[in-house]
Chains A and B, each alone.
Chain A
Amino acid sequence: MRPTGAVPILTLGDVVLVSIQVELHDELVLRLQQDLAQQVADTGARGVVIDVSAIDIVDSFLAKVLHDISATAAMLASTAIVVGIRPAVAITLVELGLPLRGVRTAPSVNAAFAMLGVRAASERPHVPPGSPVSPDGRLPSGDRGREDDPRAHDHLPREPRVREMW
């Protein structure tokens, strides 16, 4: 784990994961952007997953940085996925004129990992074998790491191969 001020960056397998849990001021946002790019370059991570589900405000500055992180990751042969944008934030960003075009999104960290062709630990079924669906009604159990959650906005070709992380 590498601290970015108050935003820890985790590397899980070949995915870099950040979960933004604090109210970010501009300097922290820029530091996060730089640290993420460096981490991707250092580790050759195939994906960058940014969990913004705790963020209740995305203004044009943060939106631009999310966009720039996405573009930077692409240049570093990685894929950035923004996870958990709140509905009110989405509505506000569209009205603001910033629909985050070109930024890939997913409803959950698990879905983002699936989009990257990686399976997160918690995605292993907690439900007893034979149950048709897991308690959250989303991930069918015993499903051999279906490439993605159907709610994931996956515009890229699917990874045929699912990699186990743990």
Chain B
Amino acid sequence: MEARVVTIATELDIVRVRQAVRDVAVRGRFSLVEQTKLVTAASELARNALVHGGGGEVTVQVEPVGTGTRVRLVFVDHGPGIADLDQALTDGFTTGSGLGLGLGGARRLVDEFHIESAPGRGTTVTISSTSGGAVR
């Protein structure tokens, strides 16, 4: 399994995260729609980590699964954390100026979505998608 870490400290880093994820999705032979969904989800989560978490990092992991490739992204920030995860995942809920679709929307775009957070302990969001219709 190969892994790469991208720091999320500025708005430009959101673009860098998108590029890094697009690279691995293309190399992992994701279909165009699969690529687009995964990169869009990554963009949402990178922005969340920057805006709500005060920055952080994402680890991009790539591993072969059956005939396809699984890309797993682990977003970590050390911000204030989220007290009510159910509320944070509800469409339309926002503490910022966005539409409040970041977390819930990202969850719909990927195969696997996992979030861990607590007040004062930051937030870790793990997502993954697998190319080629491999077993999820």
Asked if B37 and A98 make an inter-chain contact with CB atoms under 8 angstroms apart, the answer reads: no
Residue of B nearest to A86 (CB): B36
| List of B residues within 8 angstroms of A89 by Cβ | 36
- Which segment of A6-14, A57-65, A115-123 sits at the interface? A57-65
Asked if B40 and A59 make an inter-chain contact with CB atoms under 8 angstroms apart, the answer reads: yes
| List of B residues within 8 angstroms of A60 by Cβ | 44, 98-99, 101-102, 105
Chain B interface mostly: helix
**Cα A84 to Cα B79 with chains together (Å):** 38
**Cα A97 to Cα B102 with chains together (Å):** 10
The answer to the question of B108 belonging to the interface, with a C-beta cut-off of 8 Å to chain A, is: yes
The answer to the question of A91 belonging to the interface, with a C-beta cut-off of 8 Å to chain B, is: yes
| List of B residues within 8 angstroms of A64 by Cβ | 98-99
- Which segment of B9-17, B55-63, B117-125 sits at the interface? B9-17
Q: Using C-beta atoms within 8 Å of the partner chain, give the interface range for chain A.
A: 20 to 34
Given contacts A57-B40, A64-B99, contact A97 B91 (CB under 8 A): yes
Chain A interface mostly: helix
**Cα A151 to Cα B62 with chains together (Å):** 41
For window 26-66 of B, CB contacts with A under 8 Å fall at 32-33, 35-37, 39-40, 43-44, 47
**Distance of A45 from chain B, by nearest CB (Å):** 27
Asked if A95 and B109 make an inter-chain contact with CB atoms under 8 angstroms apart, the answer reads: yes
For window 37-92 of A, CB contacts with B under 8 Å fall at 56-61, 63-64, 86-89, 91-92
**Distance of B17 from chain A, by nearest CB (Å):** 11
Residue of B nearest to A62 (CB): B43
| List of B residues within 8 angstroms of A136 by Cβ | none
**Cα A58 to Cα B39 with chains together (Å):** 10
**Cα A27 to Cα B50 with chains together (Å):** 14
Asked if B105 and A97 make an inter-chain contact with CB atoms under 8 angstroms apart, the answer reads: yes
| List of A residues within 8 angstroms of B87 by Cβ | none
**Cα A63 to Cα B102 with chains together (Å):** 12
Given contacts A25-B15, A57-B18, A89-B36, contact A96 B105 (CB under 8 A): yes
Interface of B toward A, CB cutoff 8 Å: 11-12, 14-15, 18-19, 22, 32-33, 35-37, 39-40, 43-44, 47, 91, 98-99, 101-102, 104-105, 108-109
Interface of A toward B, CB cutoff 8 Å: 23-27, 56-61, 63-64, 86-89, 91-92, 95-98
Supply 16 A–B pairs (Cβ within 8 Å), ascending by A.
Answer: A24-B15, A26-B14, A26-B47, A27-B11, A57-B39, A58-B40, A59-B40, A59-B43, A60-B98, A60-B99, A61-B47, A92-B36, A92-B37, A95-B37, A95-B105, A97-B101
